[in-house]
């Protein structure tokens, strides 16, 4: 049984030769950050149609999570995937009570929310803030409500131009644990749960995630794989959430500096 992965770049590495028809890949490195783009142009492959961008960075547990080069690297890729204007809803998907799955809620907590400021008719026009809302829907086991159900209701009420879903991911390569970021226009397709995509939510969905868990190799007689996570997962989640939130804030509020965004969300 192959080890599962959410990372599209791991499905089509150079070492495996040519990619299937309908898949395009591009790889580059700049300033110590690796970039892999995977474009899936048809259905029926191992991942849904869409663009997948993977940024490989140093281990989040030890980096400066406010480093402008890292923030800008993620922000510039995210900004290119989003509509230029209009309200954006950031959804922190995952379980806050489970450290390895808490990336989404922890990131949403640090997002610079501005919808309430932009809704005032007497708001200072010189500020030029883009409207942003953020929330964490929790998990169905705690609320009795599926994430897709809650997001559909919020999207119907707010009518955002796009949704950014942040979630923890699974990798098949231990070298990517806690040190890669994947962005995708294909949305999220959680195990045993309705997908969070443009088709289900009615607006473009960009998924942003960091690999925090990995399935161990399984033998034929094992019913379920063992899921492992790094020993410094607490630091990875804490710093990874800060980095992702700053990148999301910078992508949505490009006129503000990383220092200003840090001050406004501290």
Q: Concatenate the DSSP letters of all residues of 13-64 into one string.
A: -GGG-SPPTTEEEEEEEETTEEEEEEEE-SSSSSS-SEEEEEEE-S-TTTS-
Residue in the structure block whose two tokens are 């230029």: 84
pLDDT for the residue numbered 1 = 56
Using an 8 Å Cβ cutoff, are 169 and 176 in contact?
Answer: no
Domain 8-265 in this protein, CATH class:
alpha beta
Return the number of other C-beta atoms located less than 10 Å from residue 114's C-beta: 22
Q: How confident is the model at residue 17 (pLDDT cuts 50, 70, 90)?
A: low
Q: Which of 18-22, 44-48, 235-239 is modeled with the greatest confidence?
A: 235-239
Kindly report the average pLDDT of the chain as a whole number: 90
Contacts of 109 (CB under 8 A, 6+ apart): 92, 136, 241, 245
pLDDT for the residue numbered 130 = 96
pLDDT for the residue numbered 12 = 84
Q: Is 201 left (phi over 0), alpha (psi -120 to 50) or beta?
A: alpha
The mean pLDDT value for 247-252 works out to 98
- Structure tokens, 259: 């220092």
- The gap from C-alpha 62 to its chain's centroid, in whole angstroms, comes to 20
Q: How confident is the model at residue 221 (pLDDT cuts 50, 70, 90)?
A: low
Model confidence, pTM: 0.92
pLDDT for the residue numbered 63 = 87
For 92-148, the pLDDT digits (tens) are 999 999 999 999 999 999 999 999 888 664 545 556 899 999 999 988 888 888 999
Residue 59 has pLDDT above 80, yes or no: yes
For 149-174, the pLDDT digits (tens) are 999 999 999 999 999 999 999 999 99
pLDDT for the residue numbered 151 = 95
Helix (H) or strand (E) holding 154: helix 147-158
pLDDT for the residue numbered 49 = 94
Instruction: Report which of residues 210 and 141 the model is more confident about.
Output: 210
Contacts of 232 (CB under 8 A, 6+ apart): 61, 178
Any idea what the Cα angle at residue 255 is, between residues 87 and 265, rounded to 5°?
70
- Note the residue count of the chain: 266
Using an 8 Å Cβ cutoff, are 201 and 136 in contact?
Answer: no
* Separation of alpha carbons 208 and 217, rounded Å: 26
Which residue from 62, 162, 142, 148 is spatially nearest to 98, judged by alpha carbons?
Answer: 142
Q: How confident is the model at residue 44 (pLDDT cuts 50, 70, 90)?
A: confident
Which residue from 182, 183, 181, 187 is spatially nearest to 162, judged by alpha carbons?
Answer: 187
Using an 8 Å Cβ cutoff, are 210 and 244 in contact?
Answer: yes
The mean pLDDT value for 217-237 works out to 80
């Amino acid at each position: 049984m192959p080890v599962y992965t959410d990372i599209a770049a791991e499905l089509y590495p150079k070492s495996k030769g040519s990619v299937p028809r309908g898949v395009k890949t591009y790889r580059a490195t700049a300033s110590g950050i690796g970039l892999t783009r995977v474009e899936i142009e048809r259905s029926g492959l191992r991942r849904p149609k869409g663009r997948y961008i993977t940024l490989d960075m140093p281990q989040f547990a030890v980096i400066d999570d406010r480093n402008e080069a890292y923030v800008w690297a993620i922000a510039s890729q995210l900004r290119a995937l989003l509509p230029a204007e209009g309200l954006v809803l950031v959804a922190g998907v995952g379980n806050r009570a489970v450290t390895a799955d808490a990336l989404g809620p922890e990131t949403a907590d640090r997002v610079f929310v501005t919808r309430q400021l932009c809704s005032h008719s007497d708001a200072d026009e010189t500020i030029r803030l883009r409207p942003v809302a953020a929330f964490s829907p929790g998990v169905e086991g705690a609320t009795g409500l599926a994430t897709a159900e809650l997001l559909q209701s919020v999207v119907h009420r707010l009518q955002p131009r796009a949704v950014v879903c942040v979630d923890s991911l699974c990798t098949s390569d231990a070298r990517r644990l806690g040190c890669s970021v994947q962005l995708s226009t294909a949305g999220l397709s959680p195990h045993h749960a309705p997908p969070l995509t443009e088709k289900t939510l009615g607006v473009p969905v960009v998924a942003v995630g960091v690999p925090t868990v990995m399935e161990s190799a399984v033998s034929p007689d094992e019913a379920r794989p063992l899921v492992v996570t790094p020993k410094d997962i607490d630091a990875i989640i804490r710093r990874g959430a800060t980095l992702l939130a700053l990148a999301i804030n910078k992508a949505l509020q490009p006129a503000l500096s990383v220092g200003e965004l840090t001050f406004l969300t501290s």
